[in-house]
Amino acid sequence: MVLSLSAAWFNPMLAQTAPPPEAKPAAVGSYDVAPVRILGIPAISVAAPVVSRQSTEPDAQQRAEVIEGNLSLLYQPHSLCDQGEIIAEALLEGLVLGGPSEQRICSGDPWAVLGQPNDLTVVVSRGGNDQLQLQAELKGRPTPLPLLSVTEADAQLHGLSRQQLAQRWRQLLQRRLRHARFTEQASQISLRVKTTLVLELILAVTASVTFQWWSLLRRRLRERLDRAQSNRELKGLRVQLLQGLLRGLFLAVLVQLVLMAGLAVSAIPGQIPLAISVLLQPLAILYKVVLLGLCAAGLRVLALFVLRQWVSNLDVPMAERARREQRYQNLVQVSQRLIDLACITALALLVMFDIPGFRELTLGAWLAGGALLGGLAIAFQGLLRDGMAGLVALLDDHYAVGDVVEVNGVTGTVTDVGILVTELRTADQRVVLFANSCAQQLVNHTKIRSGVEVLIPLAPQQGRLEEALELVKAECLAFAADPQWSEQLLESPWLRGVKGVSPQGIELSVVLTTRTGQQWAAERALLQRLVVRLQQANIHLASATATPLDH
């Protein structure tokens, strides 16, 4: 690791000839202003006059970086070597040459500026050219360590004389540097690590207990929802309380995880600001979610207002109004989805801009990244098409694991939804893989609810058709009242009547609407009961049928 140590750290005046960096600090009036940090926390602000873009004078950011380097010498241990060089130097000096440890560059401290906190004193001295400098006097070090020069721009920006500003900075830096030296001591780091581990363990235990409560309540709520027979039961007070408590426990788990992350970051010296940012990030995201949610609600109301005005246009002929009403429903759904997609995209961008370093990317970096993504999209357009199709299927809820779907004529249970391919298992236990973008025709048999059409073929020479219809209707009502099947039915079986007449027979149609995946078992049970009932009434079924069994 190469450490950024230069002669400018020991002589702040050398920083005046440094070349300007690419990133410019913020301009305040006629000055560039930049903060100087100790342990990541701003301590003082330095200024530089804004002359011109071609000026070779250092700006405030350059001065701040040099001063921070000077200050870090007083509380942070530095090494110019990597681990291999440290071991090699120790072997050479310790086993071969036998040199003193204080002369080692890697394993020793070549600057010897560390020590006890109170060994440091910041003083004001006057150098050449009437320059006021802040210097650090250290116990056991014969010469002071220059820290910074108080310039006329600093004094003018703060509205003080250079002497007054130097005294203010001297007191502040001495207080902050002594605290930093105390924080960086091995005993304090060890205490911080031990305290952090204890608190992390406590948070981990409480998060685990909270998660167990959440899992238990979630199972109870699911059992209650499975037993519910009507929407009134789903909206009961007890169910609502369970849902509220479930959401509260979920948020508690998230809060504890965020606290654990922030606490772990705060254990690192100099990372307190980052830890606070980690803790505040969920609040910032929540604020953005609320703000964009309000924007989405407003845009939805505006889109609905415009579409209602469009659908209520009196100039539309009566024959076309029904079609326009259908298009209105479709446009409402599409507009809401587009608004939601736009708000989610905006939220993702706003969250990404809060990532450290993301906002500082230059236009060239954005263009280079866009060109790279474009090249990758062209090279892997097939994989990209499959991936986007899979993402759309997941977001738009086309199917999920456990659904029974029919894709391109193949029927099976979804066992895996991948980024590029989806896996089905058919009734004869074969595994079928298809690319997500190749699903030309998809039928989902088990999304939210399931249904099936039950066909009863009667003999074509049937003279008791009305009696057969009444008998089938009565058996359907009895089937709906059967406790074994009533919980699986979302609606009573619906007798549609005669569906078709052919030389082979007369087909009666009954529609079953069941819970997800229960349609085929209910169909078989109902068919069995209907056949037995018709045979008992001596109503003959068709002698031959052509209904295939595909499940």
Which residue, 164, 183, 202, sits at the end of a domain?
Answer: 183
pLDDT, tens only, 105-118: 777 666 667 778 88
Q: Which residues pair with 28 in a beta bridge?
A: 31
Q: Are 156 and 270 within one domain?
A: no
DSSP at 436: G
**How far, rounded to the nearest angstrom, does the alpha carbon of residue 101 sit from its chain's CA centroid?**
50
Q: Are 265 and 338 within one domain?
A: yes
- The CATH number for 517's domain is 3.30.70.100
125's enclosing H/E stretch is: strand 120-126
183's enclosing H/E stretch is: helix 162-183
> What total of structural domains would you count in the chain?
4
Tokens standing for residue 19: 């070349």
Binned at pLDDT 50, 70 and 90, residue 298 comes out as: very high
Distance CA 317, CA 179 (A): 82
pLDDT, tens only, 275-291: 888 888 888 888 888 99
Query: Does some domain include residue 368?
Result: no
**pTM for this prediction:** 0.61
Q: Are 252 and 268 within one domain?
A: yes
DSSP at 21: P
Q: Please report, in angstroms and rounded to a whole number, the separation of the first and last CA atoms in the chain.
A: 67
- The CATH number for 415's domain is 2.30.30.60
Range of the domain at 167: 7-77+114-183
Q: Are 439 and 299 within one domain?
A: no
Tell me the residue length of the chain.
551
Residue type, 61: Q
Q: Are 336 and 474 within one domain?
A: no
Q: Are 58 and 200 within one domain?
A: no
Closest CA to 439 of 458, 469, 465, 412: 412
Which residue, 126, 149, 183, sits at the end of a domain?
Answer: 183
Examine the pLDDT at 35 and tell me if it is beyond 80: yes
Reported in sequence order, the residue ranges of 397-523 that DSSP labels E, i.e. its strands, are 404-407, 410-417, 421-425, 431-435, 442-444, 450-458, 494-502, 505-514
Closest CA to 173 of 75, 102, 239: 75
Local structure of 399: helix, strand or coil? coil
User: 157, 31 in Cβ contact below 8 A?
Assistant: yes
Query: Does some domain include residue 551?
Result: no
**Which residue has 């736009």 as its token pair?**
342
Query: Does some domain include residue 26?
Result: yes
Examine the pLDDT at 349 and tell me if it is beyond 90: no
Query: Does some domain include residue 365?
Result: no
Q: Are 240 and 278 within one domain?
A: yes
Q: What is the mean pLDDT of residues 486-494?
A: 85
**Which residue has 């995946």 as its token pair?**
517
Q: Are 404 and 525 within one domain?
A: no
User: 452, 458 in Cβ contact below 8 A?
Assistant: no
Q: Are 192 and 340 within one domain?
A: yes
Examine the pLDDT at 517 and tell me if it is beyond 60: yes
Query: Does some domain include residue 358?
Result: no
DSSP at 489: B
Which residue, 143, 160, 183, sits at the end of a domain?
Answer: 183
User: 136, 120 in Cβ contact below 8 A?
Assistant: yes
Q: Are 231 and 343 within one domain?
A: yes
pLDDT, tens only, 69-106: 888 888 887 777 778 888 887 888 777 887 777 777 77
205's enclosing H/E stretch is: helix 186-227
pLDDT of residue 486: 84
**Which residue has 């659904």 as its token pair?**
403
Q: Are 436 and 475 within one domain?
A: no
Query: Does some domain include residue 241?
Result: yes
pLDDT, tens only, 399-438: 788 888 888 888 888 888 877 888 888 888 888 888 878 8
Closest CA to 388 of 400, 377, 372: 377
Q: What is the mean pLDDT of residues 364-377?
A: 71
Closest CA to 20 of 52, 44, 67: 52
**Which residue has 């254990």 as its token pair?**
267
Query: Does some domain include residue 463?
Result: yes
Angle, nearest 10°, between helix axes 318-353 and 272-311? 170
Query: Does some domain include residue 359?
Result: no
User: For residues 149 and 380, which has the higher predicted lDDT (pLDDT)?
Assistant: 149
Closest CA to 173 of 64, 60, 37: 37
Q: Are 407 and 436 within one domain?
A: yes
Examine the pLDDT at 204 and tell me if it is beyond 90: yes
31-38 vs 41-49, strand pairing mode: antiparallel
User: 265, 271 in Cβ contact below 8 A?
Assistant: yes
